[in-house]
Amino acid sequence: MTSDRYTLLEVSKLTGLDLSKIDAWIAMEWVSPQASQALDQEDIARLRLIHELQHDLGVNKEAIPLILHLLDQLCYIQEALRKMKGTSS
């Protein structure tokens, strides 16, 4: 994964998302950049996912953090299983 960092303004231009929306999602801790003005690819992909969940899939605001939490957990488990498979084979 690339370690490039982007400012909020750059992210807004890159994704087409309103700056206020990005700010709000960071304030709600749906996205947690390592530094306040420096977002990486993980943060940007997460912002896009939140937008798609809300805008394209019609998921309501209350369900977003729950989906993100479960998705993070699922990714973690998949990675743990992958590592386990690697060590047992």
Partner 1 sequence: MAANPYETLGVDPSADQEKIKSAYRKLAKKFHPDLNPGNKKAESRFKDIASAYDLVGNADDRAKFDRGKVEAEAAKQYGSRTRGPFYSETQAGGGRYSNQFEGMDDDILSSLFEQMGRPKDGRFQRAPENKLFQMNVDFKDSILGGEQEIEFPGGKKFLVKIPAGVESGTKLRFKGKNESHMPGAFPGDIYVQLNVKPSSIFKKIGKDVEVELSVSFSDAILEAEVQVPTVDGAIIMKIPAKVTSNQKLRLKGKGVLDNVTKMRGDQITILKIKMPENVDDEFRKAVEDWTKRQTKESL
Q: How far is the CB of 23 from partner 1 (least distance, A)?
A: 19
The answer to whether residues 62 and 28 touch, using CB atoms and an 8 Å cutoff, is no
Q: State which of positions 33-72 bind partner 1 (CB under 8 A).
A: 34, 41-42, 44-46, 48-49, 52, 56-58, 68, 71-72
Structure tokens at 47: 């912002």
Q: Which is closer to partner 1, CB of 24 or CB of 80?
A: 80
C-alpha atoms less than 13 angstroms from C-alpha of 83 in its C-beta half-sphere: 6
Q: How far is the CB of 27 from partner 1 (least distance, A)?
A: 17
Structure tokens at 16: 């087409």
Residues 57/61/67/69 CA torsion (nearest 10 deg):
150
Instruction: For residue 7, state whether it binds partner 1 (rule: CB under 8 A).
Output: no
Residue with tokens 């912002």: 47
Q: Name the site residues for partner 1 (rule: CB under 8 A).
A: 1, 14-15, 32, 34, 41-42, 44-46, 48-49, 52, 56-58, 68, 71-80, 84-85, 87-88
